[in-house]
């Protein structure tokens, strides 16, 4: 199998896996409406999807940097699907919390080995771009899937959401090994290159601040617009689909933008653009304008995602699994840690105030990009990386 076809297969697989990341925040309005939970408890569900994932992501990355574990991709995807599918099977808050927790663990297991497989295809930034687009498309499809299944059949139908992962495994959508002289050793190859841990730390700060803003919006923006404009469950899920879908589409343009302007400039100006767009989303006087601002905001927050990954792997060429676990996995999961606090703030001060706090995310991310340099830029090579 050619490297290009293998990378495209991994992009499809990534989409199936990340569908379950997108499904969790989309389930929040249904859980609030059907079970009568307040926003603090609803935020706790988002926390469940992210807390164990956030802790496990770097550990999985370090382990896979030392030993190949390709089956983690399959097992992680199926565990992510099983957890989301179990949400509607019980009215217990604790059982629901644990199911979503296991889903987050599956997502954490998936990303490091999957990103290593993409790197091994030899398709470079383009392959990673496809992989990222696949994940974002899957994340965007999560709310649409929830709207279709839960909106049409009720919360008890969530086991149907696990079907894509089961079908992917059964029908062989997971990429097959390339024929030829492939090593059977479980040890990963030794990769050359100087490592810049200091700038990777700054990049991690960018990823985390973006994650807090993105995941907070994913969890509560639909609730905010529902309260403000009277959206029904189907339209609320569609709103989230517009937000995440625009981000997925914008990711396609990321490669062209970075070739023209450079990776760090694209990061910086994407976050600068997100600030007024987030404010416009909250104060728009009509549903149409609010949805338009929502789409543009999703695009501004979507462009940086593949740049995070390729820049992170450029900083840590000998720790590709760890770099991917932070820039791909932690990029989503870390933001959920702030969701309970946002939910509590929304309960006491309203969703407008809670979401307005998130404006600090892209502001801080833009500031942190000032500390970044692209290793591909000849001017950056004059510095001394932290090995």
More confidently predicted of 97 and 39: 97
Residue 57 near residue 115, CB atoms below 8 Å? no
d(CA 78, CA 107): 9
Smallest Cα–Cα separation from 154: which of 234, 37, 236, 242?
234
Q: pLDDT-based confidence at 173, cuts 50/70/90?
A: low
- What value does the CA radius of gyration of the chain take, rounded to a whole number of Å? 20
Q: pLDDT per residue over 136-166, tens digit each?
A: 788 878 888 998 999 889 999 999 999 999 9
Q: Indicate whether 1 pLDDT > 80.
A: no
- Mean predicted confidence (pLDDT) in 21-27: 87
Smallest Cα–Cα separation from 42: which of 268, 347, 357, 369?
347
d(CA 165, CA 16): 6
Task: Look at the alpha carbons of 90, 337, 268, 262 in this order and tell me if their dihedral is positive or negative.
Answer: negative
- Mean predicted confidence (pLDDT) in 213-220: 86
Place of tokens 């889903």: 103
pLDDT at 323: 85
More confidently predicted of 31 and 271: 271
* CA distances in angstroms from 177 to 7, 113, 120, 127, 303, listed in the order given: 12, 14, 11, 17, 31
Q: pLDDT per residue over 132-144, tens digit each?
A: 888 878 887 888 8
What proportion of the chain, given as a percentage, has pLDDT over 90? 32
Measured in degrees and rounded to the nearest 5, phi and psi for residue 190 equal -80, 125
Average pLDDT of the chain? 83
Three-state SS annotation for the chain: CCHHHHHHHHHHHHHHHHHHHHHHHHHHHHHHHHHCCCHHHHHHHHHHHHHHHHHHHHHHHHHHHHCCCCHHHHHHHHHHHHHHHCHHHCCCHHHHHHHHHHHHHHHHHHHHHHHHHHHHCCCHHHHHHHHHHHHHHHHHHHHHHHHHHHHHHCHHHHHHHHHHHHHHHHCCCCCCCCCCCCCCCCCCCCCCCCCCHHHHHHHHHHHHHHHHHHHHHHHHHHHHHHHHHCCCHHHHHHHHHHHHHHHHHHHHHHHHHHHHHCHHHHHHHHHHHHHHHHHHHHHCCCHHHHHHHHHHHHHHHHCHHHHHHHHHHHHCCCCHHHHHHHHHHHHHHHHHHHHHHHHHHHHHHCHHHHHHHCCHHHHHHHHHHHHCCCCCCHHHHHCCCCC
pLDDT at 124: 67
pLDDT at 268: 96
Longest dimension (CA), the chain: 62
pLDDT at 189: 47
- Mean predicted confidence (pLDDT) in 232-247: 79
Quick one: 3-175+189-382 is in which CATH superfamily? MFS general substrate transporter like domains (1.20.1250.20)
pLDDT at 267: 95
Q: pLDDT per residue over 336-386, tens digit each?
A: 677 778 888 988 998 899 999 999 999 999 999 999 999 877 655 444 444
Residue 177 near residue 303, CB atoms below 8 Å? no
The tokens describing 50, both together, are: 């992210």
pLDDT at 184: 38
Q: Indicate whether 333 pLDDT > 70.
A: no
- Measure CA of the first residue to CA of the last residue in the chain; give whole Å: 36
d(CA 233, CA 221): 13
- Mean predicted confidence (pLDDT) in 216-242: 81
* Helix axes 304-315 and 124-153, enclosed angle (nearest 10): 140
d(CA 65, CA 96): 33
Q: pLDDT-based confidence at 85, cuts 50/70/90?
A: very high
């Amino acid at each position: 199998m050619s490297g290009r076809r293998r990378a495209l297969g991994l992009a499809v697989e990534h989409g199936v896996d990340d569908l379950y990341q997108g499904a969790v925040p989309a389930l929040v309005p249904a859980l609030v409406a059907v079970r009568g939970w307040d926003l603090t408890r609803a935020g706790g569900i988002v926390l469940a999807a992210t807390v164990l994932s956030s802790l496990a992501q770097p550990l999985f990355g370090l382990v896979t940097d030392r030993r190949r574990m390709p089956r983690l991709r399959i097992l992680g995807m199926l565990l992510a699907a099983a957890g989301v599918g179990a949400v509607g099977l019980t009215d217990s808050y604790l059982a629901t919390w644990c199911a979503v927790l296991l889903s987050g663990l599956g997502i954490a297991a998936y990303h490091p080995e999957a990103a290593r497989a993409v790197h091994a295809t030899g398709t470079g930034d383009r392959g990673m771009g496809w992989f990222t687009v696949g994940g974002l498309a899957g994340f965007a499809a999560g709310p649409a899937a929830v709207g279709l299944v839960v909106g049409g059949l009720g919360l008890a139908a969530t086991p149907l959401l696990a079907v894509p992962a089961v079908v992917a495994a059964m029908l062989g959508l997971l990429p097959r090994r390339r024929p030829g002289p492939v090593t059977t050793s479980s040890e990963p190859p030794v990769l050359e290159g100087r490592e810049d841990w200091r700038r990777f730390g700054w990049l991690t700060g960018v990823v985390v601040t973006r994650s807090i803003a993105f995941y907070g919006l994913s969890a509560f923006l639909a609730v905010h617009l529902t309260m403000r404009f009277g959206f029904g469950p189907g339209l609320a899920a569609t709103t989230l689909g517009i937000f995440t879908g625009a981000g997925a589409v914008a990711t396609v343009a990321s490669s062209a933008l970075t070739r023209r302007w450079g990776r760090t400039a694209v990061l910086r100006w994407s976050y600068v653009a997100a600030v007024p767009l987030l404010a416009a989303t909250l104060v728009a006087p009509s549903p149409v304008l609010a949805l338009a601002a929502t789409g543009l905001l999703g695009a501004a927050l979507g462009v940086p995602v593949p740049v995070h990954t390729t820049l992170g792997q450029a900083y840590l060429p000998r720790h590709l699994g760890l770099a991917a676990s932070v820039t791909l996995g932690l990029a989503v999961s870390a933001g959920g840690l702030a969701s309970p606090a946002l939910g509590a703030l929304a309960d006491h001060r309203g969703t407008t105030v809670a979401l307005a706090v998130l404006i600090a995310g892209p502001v801080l991310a833009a500031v942190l990009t000032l500390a970044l340099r692209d290793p591909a830029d000849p001017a950056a090579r004059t510095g001394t990386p932290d090995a």
